[in-house]
Amino acid sequence: MDLKHEIQRRRTFAIISHPDAGKTTMTEKLLLYGGAIQQAGSVTAKQNQAHARSDWMSMEQQRGISISSSAMVFEYDGYHVNLLDTPGHQDFSEDTYRTLMAADSALMMLDAARGVQAQTEKLFAVCKNRGIPILTFMNKLDRPAMDFFELLEQVESTLKIKVAPLTWPIGSGPDFKGIFDLQRRQVLLFERVEHGRERAPVQVRDLEDEALADLIGADAHRQLREELELVEGALEPFDQEAFLRGEMTPVFWGSAMNNFGVENFLERFVTLTPPPAPLETTAGPLDPEAPFTGFIFKLQANMSKAHRDRTAYMRVASGRFERGMEVVHTRTGRSLRLSRAHSLFAQDRESVEEAFPGDIVGLVNPGVFRIGDVVSVNPKLRLHDFPRFTPESFMTAYAKDVSKRKAFRKGVEQLAEEGVVQVFYPTDGARDPLLGAVGHLQFEVFEHRMLEEYGVAVELMSSSFKLVRWLAGPTDKVERFARQVEDDQGRPVMLFRSVWDLEYAVEQNPDLEFLPQPKDL
């Protein structure tokens, strides 16, 4: 097996979007074109089976949201593509950050009628921060869209990234006629396909083809030429280097539901996006061709009733992974044999025998792994801490039935580890932990999963705290500063009731830093 070749043909990416923009639909179609499934739609069918097996997932189903995330795999044109599913619900959870830590590029899906939405902005910021290349797909062109130029302008001004259309739409809604491929100088004609379950037949025509005006109408033909003149005259041409630096996004148009523009996107996607990048470690970048190293970016407990255990999601960062191989768990220095390794595709549990950089492997986790842990043949390798979200609302949690205290602790620990909520333990002897979240849905998920998976009915009481800051500075000063809580890693944390309280504390303690994120341990 040629390691270099396997690395070069790997593409690992995530789709980021606001709920309802069409991420699930796009995922299905990509898998269809990738030949991973017979018919688009079976992803949903599979997920439904999994939902039936897992109670907390039934909550997702009721709400029509995706809380869990898994890793899908398909082959396309000799490329081996890993698609990481990011949770798409309105309330942001840490899970999303973490998943994006394992992606080499991202596809931003926008609903062409709605443009950039709140969740797109947040997720985009995470990708931008990591400096990964971002592609854009303008979806739902079969519905009336915003003005195309306005849409592009909105992306540029709100997200601060240059746009470079690689295709261009011909009308939208009832007048949607197809897309023009700017590089191939060809028009792909749109046909509505029933349920979009099959590969769409695509008719290709030259822009100058006389027959084209007949096919799309003389007005549409004229408008297309005018718009293209503007696009090519006013916008910078696509620059691969700027794209790789995360400064420019290639823009594609289509309709995921109608399978239109999807394969055109996929063809470009594999050639434009980069293979796995070197991993940033505390000792500098690690070459993917170096001997085996993997890191844990996500933990998930109780994926199904059949498997009431914890799975650690590992991304292979370098070298060849082989099931059963012996590695060092670098945080503890312990030797581990990675024998219980499985794939994460659509909730199935198939053993994984080997994997290469960019691939995602599920490891059954008997409580050994934490987020950001490294397993490697090199015992010295460590990662910088993963970014955490800064919680904006807080609740006190306790078990309604005091005899369930042990199960309560376990549940709180495991769900916090997963990033469902953040947990803060009072250091003043008070027993009940405080939970932090960005939005209310996270508390509901927590409550639901505590009951379903740990058998604990929890009581949540809103807290008057509004802000959290991690403290840094000379240890004795931090110690002396009234310390109320610590996070799950034992780091000193302060909670505040108002911005005013925080500002006062900052003013009174010039030696201390009050950070919205914890510093590296």
Pick the stretch among 249-257, 388-396, 421-429, 491-499 that binds ligand GDP (CB under 6 A). 249-257
What tokens appear for 230 in the block? 């503007």
Cβ distance to ligand GDP smaller for residue 176 or 180: 176
Query: For strand 422-426 and strand 105-111, is the pairing parallel, antiparallel, or unpaired?
Result: unpaired
CA gap 499, 505 in Å, rounded: 10
Minimum separation from the CB atom of position 102 to ligand GDP (A): 20
112, burial (CB in 10 Å: exposed 0-12, middle 13-18, buried 19+): buried
DSSP for 111-138, written as a single string: ETTTBS-HHHHHHHHHHHHHT--EEEEE
**24 labelled binding-site residue:** yes
CA 153, 159, 160, 165 torsion-angle sign: negative
Residue 9 binds to ligand GDP (criterion: CB under 6 A): no
Contact track, ligand GDP, 251-290, x by CB under 6 A: ----xxxx--------------------------------
The H or E element that residue 493 is part of is strand 492-496
Pick the stretch among 13-21, 377-385, 483-491, 494-502 that binds ligand GDP (CB under 6 A). 13-21
Pick the stretch among 135-143, 171-179, 229-237, 503-511 that binds ligand GDP (CB under 6 A). 135-143
**142 labelled binding-site residue:** yes
Phi, psi of 173 (to 5 degrees): 65, -140
Which one of residues 120, 139, 167, 264 is an interface residue with ligand GDP (CB under 6 A)? 139
Residue 69 binds to ligand GDP (criterion: CB under 6 A): no
Which one of residues 46, 122, 130, 143 is an interface residue with ligand GDP (CB under 6 A)? 143
Cβ distance to ligand GDP smaller for residue 88 or 165: 88
CA gap 189, 209 in Å, rounded: 13
The distance in angstroms from the start CA to the end CA of the chain is: 38
**288 labelled binding-site residue:** no
Residue 22 binds to ligand GDP (criterion: CB under 6 A): yes
**71 labelled binding-site residue:** no
The H or E element that residue 470 is part of is strand 467-472
Residue 20 binds to ligand GDP (criterion: CB under 6 A): yes
Contact track, ligand GDP, 25-54, x by CB under 6 A: x-----------------------------
Residue 172 binds to ligand GDP (criterion: CB under 6 A): no
Phi, psi of 217 (to 5 degrees): 95, 145
Cβ distance to ligand GDP smaller for residue 138 or 327: 138
**Contact residues for 7 (Cβ-Cβ < 8 A; gap 6+):** 275, 276, 288, 289, 356, 357, 358
Q: Site residues (CB under 6 A) for ligand GDP?
A: 17, 19-25, 88, 139-140, 142-143, 255-258
Binding-site residues for GTP sit at: 17-24, 85-89, 139-142
Please enumerate, by residue number, every residue annotated as part of a binding site: 17-24, 85-89, 139-142
